[in-house]
Amino acid sequence: MQQLARQNYLQAEVQTATPQKLQLLLVEAAIKNIHRAKKAWAEEKFEAGFDSLALAQDIVAEILSSLDKEGNPDLAGKIASIYVFIFRCLAEGGMTHDPLKLDDALRVLNSERETWRQVCEKFGLAIVNPDESSGVGSISSVGSSSRLDLSSDSSAKVTVSPKSSGISTTTFAKPIPPKDSPTSSGASWDV
């Protein structure tokens, strides 16, 4: 019963998440699966480790495939090179069972996580506070004084410059209201 409630909650969380929060959730999921793979390898459960690592690779591949290459090709290329590096580390680590390669990927993903957490904080979005040991996270709402203004037809541009990861610029478009609802719930985005 508790598992079903958790699945329903997570499904609702993803369906109503903003693009910023979805990016954070994807990065968090990749990190969690890499930790699971490392733990499985340490326990000599290589098949379980491979499954977790494959999930992390799928997440990174999805992030790569969703980059907007038309809006700003130079920026998209730079971001793509980061995720290609992560994917390569995961692939090489998986072939050799080398946890150091996974650590290289984790360092970059942790920097990405911090960047996206700051984006979410800036716009007052609820963020996930993961518990790496149990894989369960808690939700907190932060930064409620500043919000993303979606009242105009133009896109919003966000620039975050944390000390550890350099500058990241992302463009988010206005939400499209669901067909069955007269108001926008944020569940569907024109990206």
165: in domain: no
Q: Could you read off the pLDDT tens digit of each residue along the chain, which spans 191 residues?
A: 788 887 787 777 777 778 889 999 999 999 999 999 999 999 999 999 999 999 999 999 999 999 888 888 999 999 999 999 999 999 999 999 999 999 999 999 999 999 999 999 888 755 545 554 444 443 333 332 222 333 333 333 333 333 333 333 334 433 344 444 444 333 333 32
pLDDT one-digit tens code per residue, 79-89: 999 999 999 99
What predicted TM-score, i.e. pTM, was given to this entire model? 0.62
At 116, which CATH number?
1.20.120.340
* 31, containing H or E segment: helix 19-42
* Residue 167 maps to a domain: no
Rg of the chain in Å (alpha carbons): 17
In this structure, is residue 157 part of a structural domain?
no
Number of domains the chain contains: 1
Measured distance CA(64)–CA(78) in Å, rounded: 11
Beta bridge partners of 137: 130
Q: Is residue 154 part of a domain?
A: no
Within a domain: 115 = yes
Give the range of the structural domain holding residue 77, as residue numbers without chain letter. Answer: 2-143
* 161, amino acid identity: S
Smallest CA-to-CA distance from 170 within 126, 118, 130 is with: 118
Whether the CB-CB separation of 123 and 143 falls below 8 Å is answered with yes
Q: Examine residue 70 and state whether it is found in any structural domain, yes or no.
A: yes
